[in-house]
Structure 1
């Protein structure tokens, strides 16, 4: 294949050396392993700032978000030490203010810095937050965060460099109600309220498994937090917290991504470390589409096997929603599998208004997908009157053909890879560095499953090597 540049919509170019070449048409077969959840690990690392003694986190994936948080913690005097098998130790004994210019090095690389507000206000009385990054999948305003901080006594000053936040009279508990059960805002309030004076009552809180796991971390540190019915969380502030030792829940988002890859390629993939309890809603839909799975509850090496049993996949109608609904992060990889289902599938995205933009690439590969601004579902939706194309009708099965693909965001990028693996011919995928944000050893795992992928950092014939920082993955047995 001739090497030619590929451009973004803004005219910027991705050079040939930034690509991976994917030869499609081969079912994925084999075994991989997932570690701790990306959406918990980075938050638990921030929580270590609140303790007066060191914390230890196990089974940490080697992904870019962990690197970003480690860098920010180091800038604030937290000593982060990596050990074997994904263990990290975080020592907050010498927390200090960081230089604004040094913090700004991380500007735009992640949205995690906003969660430093509460811990830094408790430890230093001051927090500076740089410009935030993350995937461009829709509006993710930080107003919920800032409104909650102000209600608890913080003063927020917006500067050209970022946000300068202080708490002149300290932080105090209060009653809060979120307009939407935002995961990030719920985490912000938890990390701030645990050492605020008095009691904080949070209504309309997010209750995702990662939120409950963060509460478990804080409870180990000495926090008093109660989860009531109807999305109400009560936090009783305490004057001090200690360090923790914690093994996070496994990454249910990565698990579902590999499950969808098995389905779309007519393969058979075992995900070691996966846990059924966190995937109940996904597993129901996976089976409704026609996929099969088998749960292994072995205490030391358990997981879930996902496979395509043969025959036609079935079209479904689904809507994304906050937990316990169908996760928005599960939607994108599943849509690729739905292009291979017989009939009309309907997907109503209710969490992020621009998350269906990744389907343009699937259409260029031969999929039949029509997007609508109407709400094609019954779940209450914030986007119905705002002209966002947030509903999709997928007609299948479609024979996918290879194409040049530019990764738009983390989950959409994995979905593009699934499409390339399922397609006939050879695709080039650009911007793979975005995948490193949330998928450890992505290249090695592809190799372990028998994918034919070539490019910088891919495993050689002598065995797996890393695509991103971290330990090697065990090859399929």
Structure 2
């Protein structure tokens, strides 16, 4: 860890002000990969300046895609006219930095007939195996060779449509099937698919490129392969995870934060829980320019209305359930709620490790192997601590914290902002993977933070 990768956070000040979120991290990187499939340039707007975008941009450029900045802030243009094989050594530079490279498989097999995938990184919140991905690729006709440096894939007979059912509605595996099936010969039927808003937005992008994709009821997606795809021009949906993170920060610090760009539709489940625990919000509609006023983008304003927060019980689930990436920031706010709150994590089996740091700061959180909820869960009786009981309200105090993963990192940051005293948060550069300019946004909201 770099010696300067630390942030001193002087807590106890309510966050107040206005910040903006851009395109969803969980969509933008996949949209960049989709540009590989086109035979013409693609244009993507509202791209956040985050580490994941840098990694995917680097991988695209290694494979001959010309990536350039457009005329608008946050605009990227992708020209895939000269896609070529990259050397294993060059690709391995990105090994361990992101899990996105696995999604290059289908597009590279279509364009080059070969793909190499290095060791994958990402957040350490459970095994997150790529077995679903590899099984799907084999169903399409890919041949996978595992070597010490990574995976080599070929498609000696081309890629053909298939019928495939996921054992779990995995977002990544659904993206893999979509990016592979759109140019595979014949029809692909994917059952038990993920239907998150970011998946739907990726489908919209592929449809703009010329794909034929039908989303049926009961998580069934049908893709009719086409021989060629064009480019796209697209403005992605806003980042609902970042928006919820700032909402939780406002609640935990008894603050008032307006998140410009946030949209109600994809956050309905979060908004219901936010209100049920005592938080307040209002949807701020866009205001058109008029004489003397430049106009303003709409968003959602989140604030703590005073009084006590109320304990709640929630379970994470695939969309349209309560998103797993929402629970960590919200749990910090739940440490300030009166009574016992229960959180049952059903998406990732090892996502409650961050609560140890909260307990160190004065929270009272107990984790359990049992399923504390009624949602069907893969982790029951499997020795994973995937349920938590939070007793509150607790007075949080400053501590030295080490960030273990992206979402837990932002939760640690929220806890430090809500605590009395000065905390030192180590590993904060990991937050740059998914939160654009988070230090500048903290300053805009009146937080007292500094690099020591």
TM-score normalised by length of structure 2? 0.97
Q: Deviation of residue 15 (structure 1)?
A: 5.7
Equivalent in the alignment of 1:82: 69
CA distance in 2, matches of 1:437, 1:346: 29
Q: Deviation of residue 296 (structure 1)?
A: 1.3
Q: Is 1:47 matched with 2:47?
A: no
Q: Is 1:63 matched with 2:59?
A: no
| Aligned positions of 1:415-454 closer than 5 A | 415-454=411-450
CA distance in 2, matches of 1:161, 1:27: 48
Q: Deviation of residue 297 (structure 1)?
A: 2.3
CA distance in 1, matches of 2:355, 2:281: 26
| Aligned positions of 1:263-302 closer than 5 A | 263-298=251-286, 301-302=297-298
Number of equivalences: 443
CA distance in 1, matches of 2:61, 2:121: 19
Equivalent in the alignment of 2:301: 305
CA distance in 2, matches of 1:369, 1:190: 40
CA distance in 2, matches of 1:293, 1:436: 27
Q: Deviation of residue 431 (structure 1)?
A: 0.3
Equivalent in the alignment of 2:397: 401
Q: Deviation of residue 17 (structure 1)?
A: 2.3
Equivalent in the alignment of 2:247: 259
Equivalent in the alignment of 1:127: 115
Q: Deviation of residue 16 (structure 1)?
A: 4.6
Q: Deviation of residue 82 (structure 1)?
A: 1.5
Equivalent in the alignment of 2:127: 139
CA distance in 1, matches of 2:285, 2:449: 32
CA distance in 2, matches of 1:313, 1:80: 47
CA distance in 1, matches of 2:5, 2:119: 26
Q: Please state whether the residue corresponding to 2:34 is helix, strand or coil.
A: helix
Q: Is 1:345 matched with 2:341?
A: yes
Q: 1:73 aligns with which of 36, 50, 60?
A: 60
Equivalent in the alignment of 1:465: none
Uncovered stretches (5+) of structure 2, i.e. residues with no partner:
288-295
CA distance in 1, matches of 2:430, 2:423: 18
CA distance in 2, matches of 1:298, 1:25: 32
CA distance in 2, matches of 1:343, 1:149: 48
Q: 1:179 aligns with which of 142, 167, 170?
A: 167
Equivalent in the alignment of 2:290: none
Q: Is 1:386 matched with 2:391?
A: no
Q: 1:28 aligns with which of 8, 15, 30?
A: 15
Q: Deviation of residue 213 (structure 1)?
A: 0.1
Alpha-carbon displacement from aligned partner over 1:355-398 (angstroms, at most 9, x marks no partner) = 00000000000000000000000001111111000000000000
Q: Deviation of residue 303 (structure 1)?
A: 0.3
TM-score normalised by length of structure 1? 0.92
Equivalent in the alignment of 2:291: none
Q: Please state whether the residue corresponding to 1:45 is helix, strand or coil.
A: helix
Q: Deviation of residue 18 (structure 1)?
A: 2.0
Q: Please state whether the residue corresponding to 2:201 is helix, strand or coil.
A: helix
| Aligned positions of 1:323-338 closer than 5 A | 323-338=319-334
Q: Deviation of residue 19 (structure 1)?
A: 1.0
Q: Is 1:250 matched with 2:246?
A: no
CA distance in 2, matches of 1:435, 1:80: 24
Q: Please state whether the residue corresponding to 1:205 is helix, strand or coil.
A: coil
Q: 2:5 aligns with which of 18, 29, 40?
A: 18
Q: Please state whether the residue corresponding to 2:164 is helix, strand or coil.
A: strand
Q: Is 1:111 matched with 2:99?
A: yes
CA distance in 2, matches of 1:289, 1:408: 27
Uncovered stretches (5+) of structure 1, i.e. residues with no partner:
1-13, 457-477
Q: Please state whether the residue corresponding to 1:256 is helix, strand or coil.
A: helix
CA distance in 2, matches of 1:186, 1:321: 16
Q: Deviation of residue 275 (structure 1)?
A: 0.3
CA distance in 2, matches of 1:217, 1:294: 30
CA distance in 2, matches of 1:410, 1:94: 34
Equivalent in the alignment of 2:221: 233
Equivalent in the alignment of 2:410: 414
Q: Please state whether the residue corresponding to 2:356 is helix, strand or coil.
A: helix
CA distance in 2, matches of 1:345, 1:232: 35
Q: 1:205 aligns with which of 193, 196, 205?
A: 193
